[in-house]
């Protein structure tokens, strides 16, 4: 997994300004390997569609993945015949390698790619890139699993696709619906930050990019698509699935160990409306309260189950201490990641040590409550003990939140927040001009 530093924080979302004709707004990459038969019809059809429907200047880039047939000659002829087409030759195979190479060198503010078989209906292309041009989203994907999508494919590929996406949801907590559809787009300024962190050079490349983008807080727009399976596809399903599962394991391990610097990709303060200052409300208080309450409710249930189990072979005081210690460690870890958004391993030991101090305060409250109950009655019932402990834990919970917020996980000072970077203004054509005039 790549751990080298990225070019910087994610940029603020802004609408791409309209300007004079010049740099293409959209660069559509078509990665190919030994596609001499399908490449020509694909590019001509795509070029005709964009010329007729896309209101901005565009470019089509054929990325040849070390083809050994006549694909390079077809690509060169297309580039010679069509001014909006260019060809890039790579001497190594790998769809991810091709996309990284072309996207990293492109000057277009919106980058996209699609498979050469054009299985996805091209009418979804403008809805795919429009949210990126407007500044609403950072990435966009075509989804064959949306309710309104219309898909024609065999049962085998349907099962594999759905199973793969279930694996992503269960193992990497991915929330996007379709990782494998060859119909995706990304803003160039976001790609410049994410691409250095993506390691895969094959078919898992875009899945890895989506997972990292989602974990970094990017907005991913999904477009329902009409999709027809290509029966002549040269994709080796078993080998591709095996490589994808290896990628899932690698990325999951990196996320679990905190080896990815995703915490450095946080957006500039104020880009998200939820980050803006509200009079009289501390920053992030509402969100932190909700997260803390959810974690606290689960921790309390966990604590009570532990206490009931320990109580079978220990007195009330030892059972309470053991249950509170175990649940406190889990509570601190959960609040660190989920409530206060701390990623990575940095400071984890210190946070747990501070959490144990907070645990000691909670232990004093609950132990004192049990001692008071024992002084009041010689043989308290188990239900009475639990009721007293619940009341004491509620008081300890309020104090725990205050200590977590002010001492263990304090908010960064405003002066430490990164200023919003100024995005370079890409040159866009006048929407009133036709494509032929823009060329």
**58 membership: H or E segment, kind and range:** strand 58-65
What does DSSP assign to residue 200?
-
| The token pair that represents 433 in the structure block | 């001009």
Contact call for residues 5 and 193 (beta carbons, < 8 A): no
Catalytic residue among 206, 229, 271, 411: 206
The CA-CA-CA angle for residues 329, 333, 335, to 5°, reads 115
Q: How many Å apart are CA 218 and CA 198, to the nearest integer?
A: 15
Helices of type H across 205-347: 205-215, 237-257, 285-310, 316-334
Q: Is there a catalytic annotation at residue 206?
A: yes
Q: How many Å apart are CA 255 and CA 261, to the nearest integer?
A: 10
HSE (side-chain half, CA atoms, 13 Å) at 216: 30
What are the Cα distances from residue 285, in Å, to 78, 93, 277, 279, 407? 57, 49, 11, 12, 15
SS3 152: strand
Q: How many Å apart are CA 399 and CA 193, to the nearest integer?
A: 40
User: In terms of Cα–Cα distance, which of 309, 312, 331 is closest to 393?
Assistant: 331
The CA-CA-CA angle for residues 145, 150, 151, to 5°, reads 75
User: In terms of Cα–Cα distance, which of 78, 80, 70 is closest to 35?
Assistant: 70
SS3 132: helix
SS3 41: helix
What does DSSP assign to residue 424?
P
SS3 25: coil
**Residue 26: phi, psi to the nearest 5?**
-125, 135
Q: How many Å apart are CA 373 and CA 355, to the nearest integer?
A: 27
Sort 423 into a burial class: Cβ within 10 Å, 0-12 / 13-18 / 19+: middle
User: In terms of Cα–Cα distance, which of 274, 29, 45, 266 is closest to 129?
Assistant: 29
Give catalytic residues, as residue numbers. 206
């Amino acid at each position: 997994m790549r751990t080298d530093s990225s070019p910087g924080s994610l940029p603020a979302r802004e609408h791409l300004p309209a300007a004079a004709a010049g740099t293409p707004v959209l660069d559509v990459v078509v990665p190919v390997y030994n596609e001499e038969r399908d490449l020509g019809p694909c590019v001509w059809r795509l070029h005709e569609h964009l010329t007729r429907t896309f209101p901005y200047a565009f470019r089509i880039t054929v990325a040849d993945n070390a083809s050994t047939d006549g694909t390079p000659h077809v690509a060169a002829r297309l580039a010679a015949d069509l001014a909006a087409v260019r060809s890039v030759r790579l001497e190594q195979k790998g769809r991810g390698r091709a996309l990284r190479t072309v996207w990293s060198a492109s000057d277009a503010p919106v980058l996209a790619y699609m498979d050469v078989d054009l299985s996805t209906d091209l009418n979804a292309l403008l809805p795919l890139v429009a949210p990126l041009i407007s500044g609403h989203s950072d990435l966009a994907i075509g989804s064959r699993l949306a309710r309104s999508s219309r898909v024609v494919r065999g049962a085998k590929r349907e099962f594999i696709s759905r199973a793969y996406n279930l694996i992503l949801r269960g193992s990497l907590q991915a929330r996007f619906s379709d990782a494998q559809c060859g119909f995706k787009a990304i803003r160039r300024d976001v790609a410049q930050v994410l691409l250095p962190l993506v390691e895969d050079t094959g078919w898992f490349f875009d899945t890895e990019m989506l997972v990292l983008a989602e974990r970094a807080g990017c907005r991913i727009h999904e477009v329902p698509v009409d999709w027809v399976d290509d029966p002549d596809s040269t994709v080796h399903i078993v080998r591709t699935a095996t490589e994808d599962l290896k990628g899932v394991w690698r990325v999951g391990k990196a996320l679990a160990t905190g080896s990815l610097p995703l915490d450095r990709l946080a957006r500039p303060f104020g880009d998200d409306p939820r980050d803006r200052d509200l009079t009289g409300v501390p920053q992030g208080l509402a969100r932190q309260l909700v997260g803390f309450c959810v974690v606290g409710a689960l921790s309390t249930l966990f604590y009570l189950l532990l206490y009931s189990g320990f109580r079978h072979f220990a007195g009330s005081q030892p059972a309470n201490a053991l249950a509170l210690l175990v649940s406190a460690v889990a509570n601190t870890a959960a609040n660190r990641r989920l409530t206060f958004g701390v990623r990575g391993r940095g400071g984890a030991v210190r946070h747990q040590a501070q959490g144990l101090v907070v645990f000691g305060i909670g232990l004093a409250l609950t132990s004192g409550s049990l001692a008071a109950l024992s002084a009041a009655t010689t043989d308290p019932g188990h239900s009475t003990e639990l009721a007293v402990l619940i009341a004491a834990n509620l008081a300890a919970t309020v104090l725990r939140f205050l200590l977590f917020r002010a001492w263990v996980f304090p908010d960064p000072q405003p002066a430490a927040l990164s200023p919003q970077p100024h995005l370079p203004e890409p040159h866009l054509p006048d929407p009133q001009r036709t494509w032929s005039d823009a060329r």
